[in-house]
Amino acid sequence: MAVTVRIPTPLQRLTNGQAEVQCTGRTVNELLSDLEKRYPGVKERLCDEQGKLRRFVNIFVNEEDIRFLQGDQTAVKDGDDVSIIPAIAGGGVGLLC
Amino acid sequence: MSYMVGLKCRECGRVYPKEVIFVCEFCFGGVEVDYDYDAIRRVFTKAALANRPKSIWRYRELLPIEGEPTVGLFSGFTPLFRAERLAEVLGVEELYIKDDSVSHPSLSFKDRVVSVALSRAKELDFDTVACASTGNLANSVAALSARAGLKRYIFIPADLEMGKIVASLIYHPTLVAVEGTYDEVNRLCAEIGAKYPWAFVNINIRPYYAEGSKTYGFEIAEQLGWRVPQHVVVPAAGGSLITKIGKAFKELKLLGLLDEVHTKLHCAQATGCAPIVTAIKAKSDIIKPVKPSTIAKSLAIGNPADGFYATRVVLDSGGSAESASDDEIAEAMKLLAETEGVFTETAGGVTLAVAKKLIEQGVIPRDESIVVCITGNGLKTQEPLMNRLGQAARIRPTLASFESELASQLADAPTRR
């Protein structure tokens, strides 16, 4: 078992075209590190030089925005659904991506 | 001659060509127009501006078009006037109203952004324009695209005021009333925009569109004699206007037209939809979306696109934020009309009510200069006033009926004999 992570269209080039991938980790931060190991280059698109999640990247754990949970320290467990959704300045959620 | 260099990500600084790009492909940040300020500095002087037409296009070096403006040639340069009677009621010394309730052609500040957006859309070879709107933007796109000969699709929440619906339909656009909130309309438009090759003024050509709001700030400075007030109170829906007023003052300083800018920007929202105010009060840059419930429908954006930037510009300026209830909004609309003869829409009521509150709280000192931003016209939002105003005295067409019905007012009135 692992956590299912939904990848937005602009990043699917890095995941060999997959819209959903399986990752492991106890927190969102660990998930992102695992994601980077499997698909190098993903993390720099999601996090800035300090490793902080970029402002216009929203991550949802089971439909809940992690900004209102514990940020990248939010706990995840096997079977959880994690979505990465770019917030588009001016266009709501990332449907155009 | 164009001074627009290209587009640049506000977050990571990556540069892009001046095309239809509104989000950074790398980090998903918003992109913004970049100008050649060194070249602009040589031609953009007070003397050069003095002889130009009284419209937003007098500031064209700082607007994102390549050729001559083609849309909205009469928009902008609305009155800025000293509001002495209102100042007396509020107990302040120096108060001004910047009055976009008389903007040409559609009676709101949106004519500024739409004039720029449609001029740019034509340059980018679009034949169809569209928008997601809480009403004013709909009116402006409908009006200006009619004259520009563009096809137009306009998306609004279905529960808008009748005035705003009529003031869109008259121009015969395709008006689509969506059963949902503005945020749902906006989200739908993002989907539609991904499928149809239209210029959605506030989505895919937003970087160009948003620059039009700077002209509101340029005009405040120029009309005050090339100085800026100590306080500006600005209504916020998506948060773009307040951000761009801040940018306008910075650009004028950068270009040497203003000496110092110490203006505190204050953000006004309705209590029933105040995500930006909430963030500013918490000194946080996280905008928590809300479900709007307010009579100020033009400000009812629960998930503001520029909320983060608005929060930052207000906090950086040393400004503040406050919200107003429905009753306070209606009272402020009446106050502005009774003292200054300006009939503003509910959003203007929000702005004035918040200004009043900030003055009463001592956040805005009574001896400092204040500009209150009035951005729309009250004829469009009459519903909330229906039961809050007095009634006309109804009489028969005779002198006797007149005098009996108005006996109390006429008791002390002087007569001719």
Per-position DSSP letters for A6-72, written without gaps between them: E--GGGTTTTTT-SEEEE--SBHHHHHHHHHHHSTTHHHHHB-TTSPBPTTEEEEETTEEGGGTTGG
0.95 surpassed by complex ipTM: no
Structure tokens at B206: 């937003």
Question: CA B159, CA B168: separation in Å to the nearest integer?
Answer: 14
Distance from chain centroid for Cα B306: 14
Other CB atoms within a 10 A radius of the CB of residue A65 amount to 17
Put simply, the answer to whether A45 touches B190 (Cβ < 8 Å) is: no
Which of B3, B30, B34, B2 lies closest to B17, judged by CA? B34
Given a contact cutoff of 8 angstroms between Cβ atoms, the answer to whether B286 and A67 are in contact is: yes
Residue A93 has pLDDT above 90, yes or no: no
Residue B190 forms contact with A (CB below 8 Å) = yes
Give chain A positions within 8 Å (CB) of B197: none
Other CB atoms within a 10 A radius of the CB of residue B103 amount to 27
* Digit-coded pLDDT (tens) for A47-89: 998 988 998 888 999 988 898 889 999 999 999 999 998 876 4
- DSSP code string of B142-174: HHHHHHHT-EEEEEEETT--HHHHHHHHTT--E
Other CB atoms within a 10 A radius of the CB of residue B315 amount to 18
Predicted confidence band at A96 (pLDDT cuts at 50, 70, 90)? very low
Regions of chain B where pLDDT drops below 70: none
Model pLDDT, residue B417: 76
Residue that the structure tokens 């260099």 belong to: B5
Q: Give the distance from residue A1's alpha carbon to the nearest chain B alpha carbon, in angstroms.
A: 30
Q: How far apart are the first and last CA of chain A?
A: 29
Q: Are strands B94-99 and B369-374 parallel, antiparallel or unpaired?
A: parallel
What are the φ/ψ torsions at residue B199 (nearest 5 degrees)?
-90, 100
CB nearest A92 (choices: B30, B186, B288): B186
Instruction: Give Cβ neighbours of residue B39 (< 8 Å, ≥ 6 apart).
Output: B3
Question: CA A38, CA B151: separation in Å to the nearest integer?
Answer: 48
Question: CA B345, CA B337: separation in Å to the nearest integer?
Answer: 11
**Residues for chain A: how many in total?**
97
Which of B182, B375, B175, B188 lies closest to B294, judged by CA? B182
Model pLDDT, residue A90: 43
Number of A:B CB contacts under 8 A? 82
Other CB atoms within a 10 A radius of the CB of residue A67 amount to 16
- Sheet (strand A3-6) strand order: A20-23, A3-6, A81-86, A57-61, A64-65
* Digit-coded pLDDT (tens) for B119-167: 999 999 999 999 999 999 999 999 999 999 999 999 999 999 999 999 9
Q: Give the distance from residue A88's alpha carbon to the nearest chain B alpha carbon, in angstroms.
A: 7
Q: Per the confidence metrics, is the pTM higher than 0.80?
A: yes
A92 dihedral zone (left: phi>0; alpha: psi -120 to 50; beta): left
Average pLDDT along chain A = 86
Which of A82, A40, A46, A90 lies closest to B213, judged by CA? A90
Residue that the structure tokens 């587009």 belong to: B7
Provide the strand spans (E) within B227-354: 231-235, 264-270, 321-324
Minimum Cα–Cα distance from A44: chain B residue? B27
Given a contact cutoff of 8 angstroms between Cβ atoms, the answer to whether B112 and B145 are in contact is: no
Instruction: Give Cβ neighbours of residue B262 (< 8 Å, ≥ 6 apart).
Output: B228, B230
Instruction: Give Cβ neighbours of residue B16 (< 8 Å, ≥ 6 apart).
Output: B6, B7, B8, B9, B24, B25, B31
Q: How far apart are the first and last CA of chain B?
A: 70
In terms of DSSP H, where are the helices of B51-180?
A: 84-90, 110-123, 136-148, 162-169
Choose from B21, B23, B32 for mutation: most chain A CBs within 10 A.
Answer: B23
Question: CA B128, CA B144: separation in Å to the nearest integer?
Answer: 12
Structure tokens at B285: 């840059």
Give chain B positions within 8 Å (CB) of A87: 28
